[in-house]
Structure 1
Amino acid sequence: MNPEGKRLLNIVILGFGFMFMFTAFQTCGNIEQTVIKSFNSTEFHGSGYTSMSIIYGVFSASNLIAPSVVAVIGPQLSMFFSGLLYSGYIAMFIYPYTWSFYTASVLVGIAAAVLWTAQGNVLAINSSDSTIGRNSGIFWALLQFSLFFGNLYIYCAWHGHVHITDKDRQTVFISLTVISLVGCFLFFLIRKPDPESSNSEVSEPLLQAESTESSTTSSQALDAFGKFVFKGFELTVLQNASCAHGLELTFYSGVYGTCIGAMTRFGQDAKSLIGISGICIGVGEILGGGVFGMLNKCNRFGRNPVVLLGLITHFVAFYLIFLNIASDAPLAPEAGTDLQAYISPSVGVALLCSFLLGLGDSCFNTQLLSIIGFLFRENSAPAFAVFKFIQSIMAALAFFYSNYLLLHWQLLILVLSGFMGSMTFFMAEWHAESSRRESDYDSI
């Protein structure tokens, strides 16, 4: 196999490894608050929202040390050991204890930072300037398919179940643990790519990053916060947009599924509808990401129309959720809530909102990544580090307040943050367009 073919194969294996791992982990995050409410143990007093808050909080802080870990043990072992910690978190739900639940949350936060740093390293060393876009698209598409398979399994496993028994829980989480472990071991199939001039047919395992890159990656991560945080117009824009995206990520990835499962007026299928909701979010993510990712290359009107579409899409979704879902749904006990919102609860409207949440998120996500790459072309790695840091901090905050705030207050926060984030994005796009025109004029 030629060197380019081996690099492409590595990207495909990387994508499948993440697809298996996040089929398990994203499904776990989507259902864990519902599952925790069904525990018959008086010794367990954990909260799924608090757990996710801990994960994202530790994740944000661990971004400072993750590059050093990857530099020392290499990206392949970094992804494998991080994947084992993800699998341990999922397996903890088979026989849960409060201490093990929160300990696993801290460990997964650390593992997440190492995992995504290593993923970026593998993607970079298997791509060139001409293939990075293609390889990123392949990886992203495979990752998003994780939303389909895990949630489809939940729908089939819980269909018609009003109460989640211990056996139901154990069967699901044993299956998810096995799926996650499959993804971990797939990382060992990734081989170190041959240089273009090499004729060797056998590649060594990808145990260590390139030495020159390893020596600088850690310092780049630390420099990111010294050089960029709270400095300059562009970073102010980046911070506001990152805050909004972190809050919205929390809502569609953990809170909204819990709300649907708590609605007793949806009938006996309310719990299984959590899985269908996740699938609808995935459809919106993949459809929007594919369409807007391609349009980003040829859109003569810039990024603002796509972001405006995302803002309108999310506002429509938030308004329909406000009308359709009871205000106490995020905090309802295992038996659910009998309250009605402002319209007769509709499963169709609930699933439409799931699709709109995914579609709107893809609008913001594709354009945020695009403008960060444009504004910080010379310092993209530190800028993306800041983006991930702020996003994780806000996600941790949102999961924390989800323990206490009724649905309508959470939606109000999302509306305000989405509006502010979009307005600052519009200013950044106008600034970027002005800079581009000045550059074109100077070249002429």
Structure 2
Amino acid sequence: MTPEGKKLLNIVILGFAFMFMFTAFQTCGNIELKVMSVSLNIGVLCCSMAIIYGVFSASNLISPSVVTVIGPQLSMFFSGLLYSAYIAMFIYPFTWTFYTASVLVGIGAAVLWTAQGNVLATNSSETTIGRNSGIFWALLQFSLFFGNLYIYCAWRGHDHITDKDRKTVFISLTVISLVGCFLFFLIRKPESEPSSSSDVTESLLQTESDDSSASSRSVSYFYVFILNSCKLFVTKEMLLLSICIAYTGLELTFYSGVYGTSIGAMTRFGTDAKGLIGLSGICIGAGEILGGGVFGMMNKCTRFGRNPVVLLGLITHYLAFYLIFLNIAEDAPVAPEAGTDLTNWLTCCCSS
């Protein structure tokens, strides 16, 4: 196999590994508020999500150093184990283990995505980075499809999710996540360009001379990295972009946890309500894949830059949230396990 073929194979393996891991993790996030409302109250579950993403944000300051020290492959493997531990915690949930797992998976997420970027960059060139990013993105988004298809088939027609159903689902998701972890070991280091003997000798001498000061340089680089990050954050562009980033965080929280819970609580959907949680996840995954392709092509074809793409995305969001407003009862996100008997706004208007 050619060096370019090996790099492409690494990207495909990376995509499949993330697909397995996030088939488990994203499905877990989509159903946890619904199936855990008895063992753990909704407030604890929402605090957990806040802890995960708060720790995730803070840990990005140290994740480059971790990846540099232990390498991207081991970084992704150990981070994946933290994801698997978080999912396994739902088999026998306790409040203290839940909060602990939330902190650990937040740290793991920062290291995982930093290492993923490293692998993607080292296996790509200027001409292949777009293709490789597209392959990885498509495989990652299929995780929403397969995980939620399982939930739809397993829970369709169930009025109540028993402890046995919950344990079966989370044991299965834990195993799926572990499969993704071990797939990281199939990634091989890409072959570097051949160097002349003089280049090799010079590199070895430079390495020997640098060993004595490696630790001090690592510390100084760490402080420089933090300082540059703080300077970048207070620039005008980043402060404006932070508003958009904050919105995407709210939107991610809504569709990954709140929306599925709301659908499952709608008693007017009948015995299919629990299965519809999985169906909504499938549709979200299909929308992400389709939207990524359509908006990517628009970004290349339009003469007016990214502004029309962003505007169309904003209009699409407004339309989606308005349709949700019409179809979901106002107390559905916080309804008890039995669900809500309140009707949605569309039904009330049609009845009157």
User: Could you state the TM-score of these two structures normalised by the residue count of structure 2?
Assistant: 0.89
Match of 1:192 in 2: 189
Deviation at 1:217, TM superposition (A): 7.8
Shift of 1:123: 0.6
- Aligned partners of 1:38 and 1:163 also within 8 Å: no
**Displacement of 1:51:** 1.2
Unaligned 5+ segments in structure 1 are 199-210, 346-444
Q: How many angstroms does 1:320 deviate by?
A: 1.7
SS of the residue aligned with 2:345?
A: coil
8 Å CA contact 2:298–2:309 kept in 1: the answer is no
Contact 1:68 1:217 (C-alpha < 8 Å) held by counterparts: no
Q: Residue in 1 aligned with 2:200?
A: none
CA offset at residue 335 of structure 1? 0.9
Partner of 1:299: 302
Instruction: Mark the CA change 1:224 to 1:271 in structure 2 (over 3 Å): closer, same or farther.
Output: farther
Query: 8 Å contact 1:161–1:271 — kept in the other structure?
Result: yes
User: Does the C-alpha gap of structure 1 residues 7 and 218 become closer, same or farther in structure 2, counting only changes over 3 Å?
Assistant: farther
Closer, same or farther: CA 229–315 of 1 in aligned 2, 3 Å? same
- Cross-structure match for 1:438: none
1-side partners of 2:134 and 2:280: how far apart?
24
Partner amino acid, structure 1, of 2:327 = N
Q: CA separation of 1:221/1:275 partners in 2, compared to 1, >3 Å: closer, same or farther?
A: farther
Cα separation, 1, equivalents of 2:181 and 2:122: 20
The whole-number CA distance in structure 2 between the counterparts of 1:51 and 1:12 is 32
Alignment of 1:13-412 (within 5 A): 13-39=13-39, 44-45=40-41, 47-197=44-194, 218=222, 221-232=225-236, 234-344=237-347
Check 1:70–1:219 CA distance in 2 against 1; reply closer, same or farther (3 A cut): farther
Q: Give the conservation status (yes or no) of the 8 Å contact 1:67–1:217.
A: no
CA RMSD of aligned residues (A): 2.0
Look up the SS of the partner of 1:147 in the other structure. helix
**What's the counterpart of residue 6 of structure 2?**
6
SS of 1:280's equivalent?
helix
Paired AA for residue 163 in structure 1: H
Q: In 2 relative to 1, CA 35–224 (structure 1 residues): closer, same or farther, beyond 3 Å? A: farther
2:199 paired residue number? none
The number of residues matched between the two structures is: 328
TM-score, with length taken from structure 1: 0.71
1:138 Cα deviation from its structure 2 partner: 0.6
Instruction: Tell me if the contact between 1:15 and 1:139 (Cα under 8 Å) persists in the aligned partners.
Output: yes
Aligned to 1:51, what secondary structure does the other structure show?
helix
Summarize deviations over 1:141-167 as a string: whole Å, max 9, x none.
100000100000001111111111010
Corresponding residue of 2:201: none
Structure (1 or 2) with the larger CA radius of gyration? 2
**How many Å separate the matches in 2 of 1:53 and 1:7?**
37
Q: How many angstroms apart in 2 are the aligned matches of 1:69 and 1:197?
A: 28
1:163-204 Cα offsets, whole Å, 9 max, x none, are: 110100011011000000000000000010001338xxxxxx
In the alignment, the residues of structure 2 paired with residue 220 and residue 165 of structure 1 have an alpha-carbon distance, to the nearest angstrom, of 52
Runs of 4+ in 1 over 2 A off after TM superposition: 44-48, 214-221, 223-226
Q: Following TM superposition, by how much is the alpha carbon of 1:303 offset from its aligned partner in structure 2, in angstroms?
A: 1.2
Q: Distance in 2 between matches of 1:237 and 1:54?
A: 25
Change (3 A) 1:91 1:270: same
Contact 1:67-1:221 at 8 Å conserved across structures: no
Letter in 2 for 1:309: L
RCO comparison, higher one (Cα < 8 Å, 6+): 2
Look up the equivalent residue of 2:32 and give its one-letter code: E
Gaps of 5+ in 2: 196-209
Q: Determine the C-alpha separation between the residues in 1 that align with 2:291 and 2:266.
A: 28
Query: Counterpart in 2 of 1:439?
Result: none
User: Secondary structure at 1:106's aligned position in 2?
Assistant: helix
Question: Which amino acid in 1 is paired with 2:230?
Answer: G
1:225 deviates by 2.3
Instruction: Specify whether residues 144 and 131 from structure 1 end up closer, same or farther in structure 2 by C-alpha distance, changes over 3 A only.
Output: same
